[in-house]
Amino acid sequence: MHKYGFFRTACAVPKLKLADCQYNVSEIIALASSAWDQGVEVLLFPELAITGYTCGDLFFQRELQTNAVKALDSLCQWSDGKKMLMVVGLPLAISGSLYNCAVAVNDGRILGIVPKTYIPNHQEFYEKRWFASSKSLKRTEIIMCSQTVPIGTELLFQHVHREEFVVGIEICEDLWVPISPGSFHALAGATVILNPSASNEVVGKSDYRRELIRSQSGRCNAAYLYTSAGFGESTSDLVFGGNAIICERGILLKELPKFNLGNELLITDIDVESLTHDRQMQHGFGDSVDLLDGHSYRTIKFETPGTNDFDREVNPQPFVPADPNRRSERCEEIVNIQTIGLATRLAHIGNAPMVVGISGGLDSTMALLVCVSVCDRFNIPREKIHAVTMPGFGTTDRTYDNAVALIKGLGATFHEISIVAACTAHFNDIGHPIELHNVTYENSQARERTQILMDLSNKLGGVVIGTGDLSELALGWATYNGDHMSMYSVNASVPKTLIRYLVEWVADHSPETDIQKILYDVLDTPVSPELLPPDADGKIAQKTEETVGPYELHDFFMYQMVRHGFSPEKVYFLAGKAFDGVYEKAVIFKWLKSFYHRFFSQQFKRNCLPDGPKVGSVSFSPRGDWRMPSDAHATQWLKSLEKMEPIVQDI
């Protein structure tokens, strides 16, 4: 998976016997063998895994020190012919001092040794009794297992085929200090930080530790692998839970539960391409380079074979948290952002009336709910919301009835203004046959509705609240200077897949059962602009997703392209994993091709968007997040898809 920037990594938690190096290395090799069989390329073991962390004064015993090195030699011999980067901990006696070290092994070679810098000596920790800090080490090379090996804290391990895959190592307490060695590693180019640890368990510590690791991966724009000593450590005073965590860019990818019985692997593929993309966008790294003054890094090359399979969860709805509790929190936060944004704009212009068009669809319903939220939170009478339903040639009884009931049920001021007569007269004025249902027929209706809202707003001294969403902006599924335009657009950075959950969240928390019933029916209504006449049964004939494709696919494409800058091939690959069993590969490919066509051709609409609040990591505001020329060509992206087309057709 190197072609897509994925590397398989793992944290290992072996069972151990204190001070029994041969037993411990046999357990380490057993786990390493399992990892190798599963295509792992980088494997992390706990701090002092070869001896155990809680050996106490036994660390000074020459027998233990000698056998630890022999065990390391056994691991090196086992690894011969296996291009997997392994990091394992052991004590090493160097120049009259004892150091707590992490050793990097690959294909029978010791690539480098990293000693621990920050030695804890407080509360239950008294490591300074045995170990010296790396700051006292003057050597840059030592002889180990008949090899000349670089040693030091400023070692980076770089993949020979993907130069952006760079590994740095810090050990346990190194993470807990104000500026950790891992932070410097990241500034020097490390995209993956490994932390072999032996953190014990006390009440509340695991939550703090998890957040520390997650936030460090976010600050460093790196993947962070952490693994801790577990079953077999001394329980005289402490318990070690064997916790393992893998984070990426501030996101917890996987976690091994505490208090396991050992011999566990935590495996996932990390995405180095997404890390480098974020570093390119955020210039904090370049602006912090002066912090590296006095740090001289050495880079050591290593190789791994890569894998053909894929071990990583791909969320088919990247804008929507999978966990129901987090999703509820996200929905509440977004509604609050929309509410405060609109309330601030209203306060600035003198608490003007809000004018909003209501169709009975999802987007306009959400815009109305935000207006209601503003009124309730800031003690504004709901009558100051002027909600307008504008039935036209394509309006169905279902959407009309829902729109009317919702407006009246929420206590907004109700307006009904048909667009039929005005559009009919307009078609006569421009010489367009009313029976010709083309883009002129559709867009004329959308612009007539916008004109009504704008003119009514002028009459009332009000402000037109936009209803369109992020997904429509990505596809250009909006009439230029029609529903594309407003005076403040509350849904502008909310994708369609998330709008559904926002409306559902409001419905679930509404004390009014009649309003709940309407909102649930709106959620069940097909997405449609209702610009074409209904079918013979009076139901919606013009279904948006039949024309432009499923919004869940387009939201996925948009997120991967805009948020991460991924290539069409990688977007297609990830979509295939995310929607496996939901859409055929050919269907995904068809709509991906359509997405790129529409995305590039419709930038002129995004370049003149009205104001609206940003709610997530993807936004198309031309004043902030997305700046793209309207005449940019999609040629390279479409050529990339053309190369893939024969393969897709053969599936």
The alpha carbons of the chain give a radius of gyration, in whole angstroms, of 30
Distance of CA 85 to the CA centre of its chain: 27
CA atoms within 13 A on the CB side of 545: 12
Place of tokens 């932070």: 183
Q: Which of 15, 116, 254, 593 is catalytic?
A: 116
Alpha carbon distance 590, 41 (integer Å): 34
Active-site annotation holder among 55, 76, 172, 220: 172
Reading the block at residue 466, the tokens are 């936009």
d(CA 38, CA 629): 45
| Strand-pair category, 244-248 with 223-228 | antiparallel
Give catalytic status of residue 512 as yes or no.
no
Helices (H), 106-151: none
Q: Give the active site residue among 27, 47, 255, 530.
A: 47
Per-residue burial over 389-414, b if 16 or more Cβ lie within 10 Å, else e, is: bbbbbbbbebbbebbbbbbeebebbb
In the structure encoding, which two tokens stand for residue 515, read together?
Answer: 């309003």
Which tokens belong to 3?
Answer: 């072609």
Cα within 13 Å of Cα(612), Cβ side: 33
- Alpha-carbon dihedral of residues 561, 562, 564, 569, nearest 10 degrees? 10
Q: Could you say which DSSP state residue 489 is in?
A: E
Strand partners, 414: 387
Residue numbers of the chain with a pLDDT score lower than 70? 528-532, 536, 539-543, 649-651
Q: Is-catalytic flag, 172?
A: yes
Look at residue 651 in the predicted model and tell me its pLDDT.
46
Residue 83 among the catalytic residues: no
| 337 CB-side CA count, 13 A | 18
Which residues touch 274 (CB under 8 Å, ≥6 apart)? 5, 248, 249, 564, 566
DSSP 288: T
The predicted pLDDT at position 528 comes to 67
Report the candidate in 443, 455, 452, 426 with the shortest Cα–Cα distance to residue 481: 443
